[in-house]
Structure 1
């Protein structure tokens, strides 16, 4: 059976080649889903949920998973100072426009959730629903420092076994239930073989770490509740890793108090960020998307 995913490419506003993966029927009456990955992540993170949504026998829908600049198969930016949420939001809009997507459900993991809130503030007409995967307006310093630590000086990995072991060492405490096969699958999403055959390389521009240079406990990221408020009126789901060190239970409760209608999904044995591959989470996402379809039809 051939791979149901298709690679598409377009150009950013400043001339970089951008990549996305698509799956599912373009002409489906169901809303498309735009999948936005985390800081160092790629479109490959959404393969499981993408297949589940696109190949659903009742409500198949188009799914587009995006590589921002500097990730996956998209060009690296010559200027690493441009690895920012506003510019990456522009990359998302460029890909959506190239695929004639003017209305969609946005599924944003971590960094992708921040971009989702920025879209709510600037392009609300695009958003028929938002799914935020382990991200919110207020983030924990411990989790941020952990991210800074593993992107600032990543150790080299020569073999796939070494890469899988390294990921398990780093994240095993917050993903205690993953099998060896699942760690290996994670490695294949996070690394690729170097073209010269000398080992593996990360699937992101290592200069992304420059954006964390000034981050420390004395210089925390400000909370962005004003952006969260821009999601008012947009159907909203929050997926929270029960072992997350980035999104606290207090922040989740604060989000619920502001949005009592939020569809909260707790993934008990996963940290930051849930992998969106287990059946209970996939089923909840599918149900939320169907609800967005109905809400969008009734509002139009």
Structure 2
């Protein structure tokens, strides 16, 4: 798998297909394969005539593992995405992130709108603006526990089990959880000026309200993914078809 150096940090990525580019940014404890390749997003978007670029976020997958929470500030992770676009000579692209990847994508859309044609915020609603009730230190502690059997917090167990399944570096993920929880202000969310689709499962108790966030981001659209929770929405057919429609309708 190809990689590039960004400020001394090795970032792995994939680049496949032809057509207008879309850059995919995966969620916490996932990676480009688990989030996008295995659920058939790569093949779906290629069939829709898109060039698909996806990275392993720092601390994840085949990218460099870092252990200081300060290295996982959202702006730094968004800069990795912009640097990948520079590396591939992509001046501007559609962007889709899921969960933490949506936080990263929203940060990039706000700070560098000239690089973003449109953005899909998957698995993220009002969680963009508030950490209340969202995964946090409980997940970091679960990741650092000796084993899954030592974790009693239900949310912590879910993420620890997922990290075990993806064979992730637990210490790097704990640092990422502690460093990437920066919030966007309501004023900044209202200043996002690119087309936005907010896609959240109707049974998702992690993302926060998609419709409430849509009321803050001007002109944004909501895609409800019926009967899907945070984990099961990722590969859903309604999600894929809605995203393709959104991309095809973009000016």
TM-score in terms of structure 1 length: 0.69
Gapped runs of 5+ residues in structure 2? none
Give the structure 2 partner of residue 179 of structure 1.
none
SS of corresponding position for 1:53: helix
- Aligned residues of 1:243 and 1:268 also touching (Cα < 8 A): yes
Aligned equivalents of 1:112, 1:213: Cα separation in 2 = 15
1:138 equivalent among 120, 129, 138? 129
1:170 maps onto 2:150 in alignment: no
Deviation per residue, 1:237-257 (Å, 9 max, x gap): 0011212222333xx332222
Deviation per residue, 1:120-166 (Å, 9 max, x gap): 23211111000001214334533324644543437269xxxxxxxx9
Aligned equivalents of 1:214, 1:73: Cα separation in 2 = 20
Deviation per residue, 1:189-209 (Å, 9 max, x gap): 9646xxxxxxxxx32452331
2:188 equivalent among 227, 230, 233? 227
Deviation per residue, 1:38-75 (Å, 9 max, x gap): 1222111111112101123xxx1111111111110111
2:197 equivalent among 217, 224, 237? 237
- Aligned residues of 1:53 and 1:61 also touching (Cα < 8 A): yes
Give the structure 2 partner of residue 51 of structure 1.
43
Aligned equivalents of 1:81, 1:19: Cα separation in 2 = 20
Aligned equivalents of 1:141, 1:50: Cα separation in 2 = 33
- Aligned residues of 1:118 and 1:227 also touching (Cα < 8 A): no
- Aligned residues of 1:43 and 1:65 also touching (Cα < 8 A): yes
SS of corresponding position for 1:207: helix
Aligned equivalents of 1:240, 1:289: Cα separation in 2 = 17
**1:119-268 aligned within 5 A:** 119-136=108-125, 137-145=128-136, 147-148=139-140, 150-153=142-145, 155=147, 170=158, 191=165, 202-210=167-175, 212=177, 224-232=185-193, 234-249=194-209, 252-259=210-217, 261-268=219-226
Distance 1:68 1:141, change over 3 A: same
* Structure with max Cα Rg: 1
SS of corresponding position for 1:62: strand
- Aligned residues of 1:85 and 1:114 also touching (Cα < 8 A): yes
Gapped runs of 5+ residues in structure 1? 1-6, 158-165, 172-185, 193-201, 296-300
SS of corresponding position for 2:223: strand
C-alpha RMSD over aligned residues: 3.1
Give the structure 1 partner of residue 9 of structure 2.
16
CA deviation after TM superposition for structure 1 residue 88, in Å = 1.1
